[in-house]
Amino acid sequence: MGILGRCVLVALAVLAGACGSGEGGDQSSTTTADHDHDHEVMEGIALDGLDHPPTVEVAAESDGAGNVVVAVTLTGIELVPADPPGDHQPGQGHLHISVDGETVAMTSHAVHYLTGLADGHHEVAVRLSANDHRDYLFGGSPIGDSTMVMVTGGTVPKAPDLVFAVEVSDGTVVGGVQRFEAMVGDLIEISVTSDVDDEVHLHAYDMTVHLHAGSTTTLLVEGTIPGVFEAELHGAGYRVFELQVS
Amino acid sequence: MTPPAELVLLAHGVGGRSDLPIPEWRAAWGAVVILALSFAVLGRLWPKALLRNAAEGRHLGIGADRLARLLGVVAVVVGTVLSTVVLSAGLVGPDTNVSNIAPVTVYVIFWVGVPLSSALLGDIWRAFSPWEALGRLVEAPTRVLRPVPGLVGAGWPALIPVGAFLWLELAYHDGARPRVLAWAGITYTVCLLALARRSGWGVARRSEGFGVLFGAVGAVSPLYRSDGRLRIRPPFSGLARLETPAPVVAILLMAIGGTAFDGFSRTRFWGDILTGRSGWEATIVNTVGLAWIVLLVGLAYHLACRVGGRVTGDQNPAERFGASLVPILLGYSVAHYFSLLLLEGQAFRSLLSDPYGLGWNLFGTLGDPIHWTLVSTTVVGWVQLVAIVVGHMAAVVAAHDRAVEAWSPTKAIRSQYPMLVVMVAYTMAALVLVAG
């Protein structure tokens, strides 16, 4: 979640950069990431020298039952399986497909099915990636395309009824262990921010989510079981919060 | 991401659902009024000891005796097989408290299920106990049994297994690890059998703390066996015949203190103290807390006995009134662990199908999900309240019956005032703690 989140941030930063410098075609840089995330720097492969760089066009269509068919039209690239990652071969690559900024698939097929989407508008984006998962760049930005799709007949999106937040810092829970109170049937969102890597386990609901140092992880709990439940840090062993469902 | 479908036992050997607060202060005051009223009524309507005669009960019949004998044999087999399986699974099975059968069996079935069943059915642990069977087996009748030091003979070593168990369950940070439990079980078995070999099972049995504890709890049961006959008597009347020498009193107080600490450790107060502590640091803090609560419970009891004893000139009031601790312990246990047994206990069913984590499905129950809504929190809240109040009322009655057995009603009542104060304190503490 955290790494994914940061990838998305990076991707957004890239997109923002691309929008901001529309005609910045003379940029010769091969890096795409902002320098706040040095360890996340993603080297791209610039294809600016090619006369006919690969092109990607994406179309997405909802089937009315919560699923979306993603069809990608490509030129100038041969799709090869992404797993296991291979060495970069010019002219070869695969597709990274993301929905609403979260990568959901890496595929070597030009047609991909997305299932189980919630009703509403979603952004489907496709980027062209080399065998070693580096992005192909042209003019300093990744080669790709995106489109919006309206999904119907899928799951009904719900906004959480209650939102709670807790922070783990310096080996302790900031402000002490709190009890979050909710009613049966509530959709409860609890975000946990941590300065260390660990796991949060919520008893009885049996939810385990990973925490990444310096980022926030969100638990989405449907309050189906009444009672008071402890959430513990697996690694550290102590309680981070209690959830009371009544 | 898919959450794991199994139950996770963590931290205290047990984990999962704790129950919703009942309106604690109102419940506590209600309980106090009930206790005081029953104390006053006892003084007027219970001038003579009644329980000892009532505890005689009546014979249920030849058929019942046969059935009891048959069930006894079944229990020996089940107890031996199950403990072997659980111990070996603890040693070689998956070493996670999630998928191993040992933690749930030890902390839920053995520690909660056995005493609660004993309260209903009598001293069943004597039939199920693998140590009982093994102890008799290793006892060498041809050898001269060597005597033991006085403290051992009196049964003081029985405090060690119970104390160690409470420490593993409530204080030690890795106490739910299958390997830890298995090695603890093996160590205990070896020590116990060595003692049985050396000095006979009759002596060693007094050191088998769990047997002593569960046997005492069994005294409240309406069923008991005497001379091979199954008899029935009013519930709780058996307390009148329960002898509680000093080590037994100590074990009962320890168990009450442990249960109280279990409740205490779930309060936010204790949670805040533990926040940021892990590993041995948490263990040490919990050990101090556990010892502190056990001492507090024990001191309160002994103080009441001492003050009461001053009225009567009784040399040993703590032992005289020890039996009245049993219904208190029972009330605490039901209040704290009733939902644990019914909810987390379901994991036992599932794990029994595949005790070694090899993918067997012996009874077709593998992977059965836990029905967390089997009992509602309202039911649990009421059971907690009733268990604590009834437990303490039974304790007041049992203590009163013992007192009027020895002294005139007036003197007896006067000697019981300090005890009433302690009962009230225990009750308030219990209700506040289950409310957490």
pLDDT, tens only, B102-128: 999 999 999 999 999 999 999 999 999
Q: Which of B3, B16, B276 sits opposite A172 (nearest CB)?
A: B276
Residues of B in contact with A173 (CB under 8 A): 275-276
More confident residue, B141 or B35: B35
Average pLDDT over residues B323-329: 95
User: What's the mean pLDDT when you consider all of chain B?
Assistant: 87
Q: What is the predicted pLDDT for the residue at B285?
A: 94
Tell me: pLDDT of B193 over 70.
Answer: yes
Tell me: pLDDT of B8 over 80.
Answer: no
A183 and B CB contact within 8 Å: no
Q: Which of A171, A227, A230 sits opposite B276 (nearest CB)?
A: A171
Beta-strand pair A187-194/A45-46: unpaired
Does residue A70 contact residue A60 with C-beta atoms inside 8 Å?
A: yes
B276 and A CB contact within 8 Å: yes
Residue percentage of chain A with pLDDT more than 70: 81
More confident residue, B158 or B26: B158
B314 and A CB contact within 8 Å: no
Q: How many CB atoms lie within 10 A of CB A45?
A: 18
Which of B189, B207, B196 is closest to B91 using CA atoms?
B189
Tell me: pLDDT of A24 over 90.
Answer: no
Q: What is the predicted pLDDT for the residue at B113?
A: 95
Q: How confident is the model at residue A153 (pLDDT cuts 50, 70, 90)?
A: confident
Give, as one character, the DSSP assignment of residue A161.
Answer: S
Judged by phi (left if over 0) then psi (alpha if -120 to 50, else beta), residue A153 lies in: left
Is B4 within 8 Å of A172 when comparing Cβ atoms?
no
d(CA B399, CA B34) in angstroms, rounded, equals 16
Average pLDDT over residues B14-41: 73
The nearest CA of chain B is from the CA of A118 a distance in Å of 16
Is B17 within 8 Å of A205 when comparing Cβ atoms?
no
Is A204 within 8 Å of B5 when comparing Cβ atoms?
no
Q: How many CB atoms lie within 10 A of CB B150?
A: 8
More confident residue, A19 or B189: B189
Q: How confident is the model at residue B6 (pLDDT cuts 50, 70, 90)?
A: very low
Can you tell me whether residue B52 is helix, strand or coil?
helix
Q: What is the predicted pLDDT for the residue at B181?
A: 94
More confident residue, A210 or B204: B204
d(CA B25, CA B28) in angstroms, rounded, equals 5
Q: What is the predicted pLDDT for the residue at B22?
A: 58
Q: How confident is the model at residue A42 (pLDDT cuts 50, 70, 90)?
A: low
Q: Chain B window 329-358: which residues touch A at a Cβ cutoff of 8 Å? A: 343
Q: What is the predicted pLDDT for the residue at B19?
A: 59
Peptide bond just before A84 cis, omega within 30 deg:
yes
Which of B119, B115, B58 is closest to B394 using CA atoms?
B119
Does residue B349 contact residue B365 with C-beta atoms inside 8 Å?
A: yes
Tell me: pLDDT of A230 over 70.
Answer: yes
* Tokens coding B65: 């005796």
Q: What is the predicted pLDDT for the residue at B294?
A: 96
Does residue B248 contact residue B155 with C-beta atoms inside 8 Å?
A: yes
d(CA B254, CA B161) in angstroms, rounded, equals 11
> Inter-axis angle of helices B325-343 and B377-406, to 10 degrees?
160
Q: What is the predicted pLDDT for the residue at A156?
A: 66
Q: How confident is the model at residue B311 (pLDDT cuts 50, 70, 90)?
A: confident
More confident residue, B335 or B165: B165
- How many Å is the Cα radius of gyration of chain A? 21
Q: How confident is the model at residue A212 (pLDDT cuts 50, 70, 90)?
A: confident
Give, as one character, the DSSP assignment of residue A156.
Answer: P
**pTM of the predicted model, to two decimals?**
0.75
Tell me: pLDDT of B209 over 90.
Answer: yes
Which of B136, B105, B97, B119 is closest to B11 using CA atoms?
B97
Average pLDDT over residues A223-234: 85
Buried b (16+ CB within 10 A) or exposed e, A104-123: bbbbeeeebebeebeeeebe
Which of B128, B279, B162 is closest to A236 using CA atoms?
B279
> Inter-axis angle of helices B209-218 and B159-170, to 10 degrees?
90
Q: How confident is the model at residue B23 (pLDDT cuts 50, 70, 90)?
A: low
Q: How many CB atoms lie within 10 A of CB B395?
A: 28
Q: What is the predicted pLDDT for the residue at B218?
A: 96
Is A201 within 8 Å of B20 when comparing Cβ atoms?
no
Least confident of A198-207, B104-113, B400-409: A198-207
pLDDT, tens only, B357-386: 888 888 888 878 888 888 887 788 888 888
Q: How confident is the model at residue A108 (pLDDT cuts 50, 70, 90)?
A: confident
Q: What is the predicted pLDDT for the residue at A36?
A: 40
Does residue A197 contact residue A171 with C-beta atoms inside 8 Å?
A: no
Does residue B107 contact residue B178 with C-beta atoms inside 8 Å?
A: no
Q: What is the predicted pLDDT for the residue at B17?
A: 56
pLDDT, tens only, B29-70: 888 888 889 888 988 888 888 999 999 999 999 999 999 999
| Interface mutation vs chain A, best among B267, B275, B374, B380, most A CBs within 10 Å | B275
Q: What is the predicted pLDDT for the residue at A161?
A: 87
Tell me: pLDDT of A8 over 70.
Answer: no
Q: How many CB atoms lie within 10 A of CB B279?
A: 11
More confident residue, B25 or B222: B222
The nearest CA of chain A is from the CA of B18 a distance in Å of 5
d(CA B13, CA B168) in angstroms, rounded, equals 8
| Interface mutation vs chain A, best among B9, B18, B284, most A CBs within 10 Å | B18
Is A206 within 8 Å of B5 when comparing Cβ atoms?
yes
d(CA B265, CA B226) in angstroms, rounded, equals 41
d(CA B100, CA B1) in angstroms, rounded, equals 23
d(CA A216, CA A199) in angstroms, rounded, equals 12
Q: What is the predicted pLDDT for the residue at B403?
A: 92
Place of tokens 């290793």: B138
Amino acid in the structure at residue B400: H
Tell me: pLDDT of A26 over 70.
Answer: no
Q: What is the predicted pLDDT for the residue at A12?
A: 44
Least confident of A223-232, B67-76, B245-254, B325-334: A223-232
B277 and A CB contact within 8 Å: yes
Residue percentage of chain B with pLDDT more than 90: 51
Average pLDDT over residues B335-362: 88
A201 and B CB contact within 8 Å: yes
Q: How confident is the model at residue A157 (pLDDT cuts 50, 70, 90)?
A: low
Q: How confident is the model at residue A102 (pLDDT cuts 50, 70, 90)?
A: confident
Average pLDDT over residues A118-147: 87
pLDDT, tens only, A49-69: 888 889 999 999 888 787 889
Least confident of B177-186, B220-229, B244-253, B308-317: B308-317
Is A228 within 8 Å of B18 when comparing Cβ atoms?
yes
Does residue B297 contact residue B264 with C-beta atoms inside 8 Å?
A: no
**Which residues have CB under 8 Å from B233's CB, separation 6+?**
B54, B55, B56, B57, B58, B222, B223, B224
Q: What is the predicted pLDDT for the residue at B13?
A: 35
Q: How far is CA B407 from CA A227, B49, B50, B131, B390, in A?
A: 48, 10, 14, 41, 25
Tell me: pLDDT of A159 over 70.
Answer: yes
Does residue A166 contact residue A190 with C-beta atoms inside 8 Å?
A: yes
Which of B428, B432, B386 is closest to B263 using CA atoms?
B432
Beta-strand pair A172-173/A162-169: antiparallel
Residue B332 has, within 13 A of its CA and on its CB side, a CA count of 29
Q: What is the predicted pLDDT for the residue at A172?
A: 87
Residue percentage of chain A with pLDDT more than 90: 14
